[in-house]
Structure 1
Amino acid sequence: MVPAIFQRQPRYVWFTALVVLATIFLLALSHSPFRPPFYFSPRTDGELQALIAQSELVYKQLLLQRKDFITKFGPTPDKISMFPRMQEYTVWDFFPAAFNCPHEISRIGRLGEGGKWVCGLSRIQDKQDCVVYSFGISHESSFEAEILSRTKGCKIYGYDFTVDGFGPEITSGVKDRTHFEKWGVAGVDAHGKNDETKMYTLLSLMALNGHKYIDILKMDVEGAEFDALGTVFKEFIDANEPLPFGQLQLEIHTGSKHFEWYLGWWETLERAGLRPFWTEPNLVFLNYLEHVPPELAEYSFLNIRGENDLISSTHRSTRNSMGWEAIRV
């Protein structure tokens, strides 16, 4: 019967066989820790510039909407509450992830706490001098482990003064591509002999490691992100230089911050060239604490200024050739 069916409907038989094989492969893959690399057609510089310029226009429209939103509920920033009762907004509604990553977006690491959304991992999966910084390890390293499994040359530099090393997800097979120090990141250096907890600025760590550029910067440091990043923003904005990293995965902890202050910090982030392309509220901590507002949110940012694998196919400096200026707010 099979030969007869093959003779009458050869395309149907081949298609059915392919579906069966693909199903078997996917089932096997779902039970395996291995994740295959993904290969996407590279975009030209012209295509990237057009996509990013279009996204920038959309984002500038968002800024106008933000001003109207503040006027509606303020009418000035000092009158806006972060998490008001009986109102139609929270602070996160003023800062949506309205920018489009011009490449694939993939979840790296586990679902829930620990994983991050990354733009264009395929752009660096074959890069031999790829550098990843990870601040805030805790006891879970699925993000770092998957970065290592999905790339050929990425090295991860981890820092966390609350633990002694990476989590169990970092196995012996990839450990040689990791570096860990029990240090923290801050807005100022404090790592003298009398400092029990060693704190470094991001730029000090980069100088110590001999790095001028970071491909992926991940930061989950329980509120220290404001000072740690604020120092970097100021230095590079004042020098009119692009930030020294391609993208940022950041958990933001608003805590006791006031809206007017937070708006100013966010606008500094925008002036530095960062654009949010993904966000999700972190609601897990609400499972542990009762009667608290959703003060934590995960954001992923793309750096649209400078030499960057995500915005340039030729790795040349694009700071003065992309056809736009940093947002002025």
Structure 2
Amino acid sequence: MRIPRCGHISPKNVVRLAIFLLLQLLLLAVVLQLNQQVVQNTIQCDHHDNDLQTKNVPRQQLIAEDTGTGPLGYLRINSHVTDLSSLEISNMSTTQLLLTVHSYLDNADVICQRKIRMGRIDDGGWEVCDDPDVRPREPCIIYSFGINDDFSFDDDSARLYGCHIYSFDPSMVQSAIEYNRSSKVHFYRIGLGGTTLINNKQWLLFTLSDIRRKLGHQNATIDIIKMDIEGSEWGALPQMLRHGELEGVRQFYIEYHLTRDDRRYILPRLKAIQGLARAGFKKFYVHKNKITKTNIKGFPVYRTRCYEVHYLRR
């Protein structure tokens, strides 16, 4: 736009100048708005990057747990219920060991969508996870340790899943040393232990390795192992883990017996339980024996001395 050199500006040129200045202001506003959007997009990208970096971090690492106060606060601080496999339990105090074993065993850490109880509704039955990725399919093998004259779990599992069930119990001294209860349920009057021997009750105990060798199952897949052997699990379980005898086992059921509270007793037993976690087994169901309820120092409610724990491995 041409502006006259003299001091006088015509009304027409005043209008033109005003329009020109207004357009300049509008253009400046548009540029500022675009710059602001670029900055916001950059910030959003940074936030997205942070989300990518933290999305796989466990929630408990991102947000500190509010443990609260009182007896429950003390329990939350001094016990663990998840990720037992990564803990250095040898460094725990006796109190922490005791509270952890009674907290960890009482809580499931994986979901089974469909549980079906094989055997009696009360003591003697066990929950089988019937999810497609872990359910037994013919031809299948189940080892059942600890019968006490109750074959209900064994009979139901053979009838409904078509598995061959190998049932073991050295205490059934009135039974034949070995016999076929049915075409698919086979009984042996031997027990499971950490060493193959004859104990002070004159019971014949085999390691799992020797049982598999005896039955010709060294290379066979054992789909389910059930153990209710009245405290002998603490000798048998470390041997099974040490020799890789649980490879291929999809479900593992065990009754843990905890009869003492001192460190010398609890530490090796919690290590055996930790060994199962490190082998990939996760708890999908837990049942507490109500008959053996007890008070545990530091626990604000009753505990049990016997936990029936059902594991699966996917």
TM range (shorter): 0.5 to 0.7
Distance 1:126 1:90, change over 3 A: closer
Contact 2:253–2:308 under 8 Å retained in 1: yes
Counterpart position of 2:285: 278
Counterpart position of 1:184: 191
Q: Is the counterpart of residue 219 in structure 1 residue 227 in structure 2?
A: yes
TM (norm. structure 2) is 0.60
Counterpart position of 1:307: none
Structure-to-structure mapping, 1:99-248, within 5 angstroms? 99-101=110-112, 103-120=113-130, 127-152=137-162, 154-164=163-173, 175-190=182-197, 196-211=202-217, 212-236=220-244, 243-248=247-252
Instruction: Give the letter for the 1:200 counterpart.
Output: F
Query: Aligned to 1:196, what secondary structure does the other structure show?
Result: coil
- State the shift of 1:213 in Å: 1.7
Counterpart position of 1:298: 308
Contact 2:78–2:96 under 8 Å retained in 1: no
Q: Is the counterpart of residue 78 in structure 1 residue 93 in structure 2?
A: yes
Contact 1:160–1:182 under 8 Å retained in 2: yes
Show CA shifts across 1:143-191 (max 9, x none): 1121122123x1110111111588xxxxx9x712111111110011115
Alpha-carbon distance in 2 for matches of 1:133, 1:164: 20
Contact 1:190–1:198 under 8 Å retained in 2: yes
Distance 1:189 1:74, change over 3 A: same
Structure-to-structure mapping, 1:27-42, within 5 angstroms? none
Show CA shifts across 1:236-293 (max 9, x none): 2xxxx96241111111101125443333222211111211111011113559xxxx96
Distance 1:270 1:74, change over 3 A: closer
CA RMSD after TM alignment: 3.9
User: How many corresponding residue pairs?
Assistant: 223
Distance 1:265 1:303, change over 3 A: same
Alpha-carbon distance in 2 for matches of 1:234, 1:180: 26
Alpha-carbon distance in 1 for matches of 2:211, 2:154: 19
Contact 2:171–2:203 under 8 Å retained in 1: no
TM (norm. structure 1) is 0.57
